[in-house]
Structure 1
């Protein structure tokens, strides 16, 4: 496993990942409105700073779309059926960002998707910044 370290975030070397904030989770995830609100603040900041934003949806046919209040309307959503965001479509997006060193990670479910994504990113040598106020799970 790669050495774990936390570095400074840089505008040119960072990306925001928004993981699976979908309709079916609304009633099941603790503090869902607050999580979405914090994630939306991160999204607005990333837009202002022109930081790349990648959004995933876990099995959208069954779990519905990303909630509208997150503010991702018109953005491409990467569909996945595994816990990690590191599916082939997202990895292709990462390859198009050659200066990427740091990932800012928000979303649900913390014990599955956020953890799996974090471990996969660390294994690939990225720095990962999990925004605690923008993550939650069912329990």
Structure 2
């Protein structure tokens, strides 16, 4: 079953500079998120970005922010918000100009799998009424890699769909006749090496 981009939002959780040397597989994780950002921009999928205590932990990494800043449609950038809560579901995410509850499909990326990702996924299911939560294994991680499979297994049991970034891209297309099929196919080809590295690093812990 394909995903409707108009009912989908990309969540990018706390991919901040201070975590670069602490998170397992940070570089391939970031590459996977950048791939999803590029795809979301041509598919018309909005993004919502959070930063955990950015004064102490720094801003979202430049690889991601540069793509967001260059987006041809800035309305797709719902915002970049600082938070102290572990969940991304905050008061700001409920405001009318963001309105996360109006989206039915959440693509959840970032860190850490067993803390912010887990609490965001559970809140999204319980509070926002999201019908589908998708977590691409090549776009999430933790400081301790051993935490990841435990967290994802727990979320899978609660109805969260554990998948990969490439699988999500083709589900969003749904049909080779999609007007953006050639762009996505080209993007997948260009990102093949990064995707392989991300899967070998991040999916290998499952």
Q: Using structure 1 for the length normalisation, give the TM-score.
A: 0.88
The alpha carbon displacement at 1:8 in A equals 4.4
Q: d(CA) in 2 for partners of 1:86 and 1:96?
A: 8
- Tell me which residue corresponds to 2:16: 22
The alpha carbon displacement at 1:38 in A equals 0.1
Which aligned runs of 4 or more in structure 1 are off by greater than 6 angstroms? Answer: none
Q: Which has the higher strand share?
A: 1
**Cα–Cα, structure 1 residues 67 and 96, in superposed 2: closer, same or farther, change >3 Å?**
closer
Is 1:109 aligned to residue 105 of structure 2? no
Task: Tell me which structure has the larger Cα radius of gyration.
Answer: 2
SS at match of 1:34: helix
SS at match of 1:72: helix
Q: d(CA) in 1 for partners of 2:136 and 2:13?
A: 12
Q: Deviations over 1:106-136 (max 9, x none)?
A: 0001100000000000113211001110000
Aligned residues: 132
Query: Conserved in 1, the CA contact under 8 Å of 2:93 and 2:100?
Result: no
Q: Which has the higher helix share?
A: 2
Is 1:72 aligned to residue 68 of structure 2? yes
Query: Conserved in 1, the CA contact under 8 Å of 2:89 and 2:120?
Result: yes
Q: Using structure 2 for the length normalisation, give the TM-score.
A: 0.60
The alpha carbon displacement at 1:9 in A equals 1.9
The alpha carbon displacement at 1:96 in A equals 6.8
The alpha carbon displacement at 1:66 in A equals 0.3
Unaligned runs of 5+ in 1: 1-6
Unaligned runs of 5+ in 2: 71-76, 145-206
Is 1:39 aligned to residue 33 of structure 2? yes
Q: Which moved more, 1:12-21 or 1:85-94?
A: 85-94
- Tell me which residue corresponds to 2:141: 136
Q: 2:91 aligns with which of 82, 88, 92?
A: 88
